[in-house]
Amino acid sequence: MAVFFRFGKRVTINWYLLPVTQPIPHNQQYVYIQSKNYSTKKSRKVELNEEELNVIKLDELRHDMSAALDTLKWDYTHTITTRLSPMIIGNLTITWKEKQMKLKDLSQISMPNSQNIIINFSSQPHYIQDAVNILQAKVNINPTVDGSVIKASVPKPSKEVREKLSKDAKSYADKAKVRIRRVRQQAISNLRKHGESVSKDSVKRIENIIQKITDENIDNIEKMLKAKTIELHKQ
Q: Residue 42: its pLDDT value, please?
A: 53
- Answer whether 43's CB lies under 8 Å from 36's CB: yes
Among the ranges given (64-68, 133-137, 217-221), the one the predictor scored with the smallest mean pLDDT = 133-137
Q: Residue 166: its pLDDT value, please?
A: 93
Core vs surface per residue 187-218: b (16+ CB within 10 A) or e = bbeebeeebeebeeebbebbbebbeebbebbb
pLDDT in tens, 64-102: 999 999 999 999 988 888 777 888 888 889 888 788 899
Q: Over 50: is that where the pLDDT of 234 sits?
A: yes
Between residues 123 and 4, the one the model is more confident about: 123
pTM of the model: 0.64
Q: Residue 120: its pLDDT value, please?
A: 94
Q: Over 70: is that where the pLDDT of 47 sits?
A: no
Q: Over 60: is that where the pLDDT of 14 sits?
A: no
Q: Over 50: is that where the pLDDT of 38 sits?
A: no
- Answer whether 59's CB lies under 8 Å from 20's CB: yes
Of 132, 134, 137, the C-alpha closest to 149 is 132
- pLDDT band at residue 181 under the 50/70/90 scheme: very high
Beta strands in 56-194 (DSSP E): 93-96, 99-102, 108-113, 116-120, 144-146, 149-153
What 3-state class would DSSP assign to 56? coil
Q: Over 60: is that where the pLDDT of 188 sits?
A: yes
pLDDT in tens, 97-128: 788 899 999 999 998 887 889 999 998 898 89
- Answer whether 47's CB lies under 8 Å from 30's CB: yes
Mean pLDDT calculated for residue range 129-135: 90
Mean pLDDT calculated for residue range 139-165: 86
- On average, the pLDDT of the chain sits at 78
Q: What percent of the chain has pLDDT over 70?
A: 76
Distance of CA 169 to the CA centre of its chain: 11
Q: Residue 20: its pLDDT value, please?
A: 35
**Cα–Cα distance measured from residue 91 to residue 109, given in angstroms and rounded to the nearest whole number:** 11
Q: Residue 82: its pLDDT value, please?
A: 79
| Cβ-based burial of 65 (10 A; exposed 0-12, middle 13-18, buried ≥19) | buried
Q: In what order do the strands lie in the sheet with 9-13?
A: 9-13, 2-6, 30-36, 43-49
- Answer whether 110's CB lies under 8 Å from 86's CB: yes
Q: Over 80: is that where the pLDDT of 28 sits?
A: no
**Cα–Cα distance measured from residue 106 to residue 51, given in angstroms and rounded to the nearest whole number:** 56
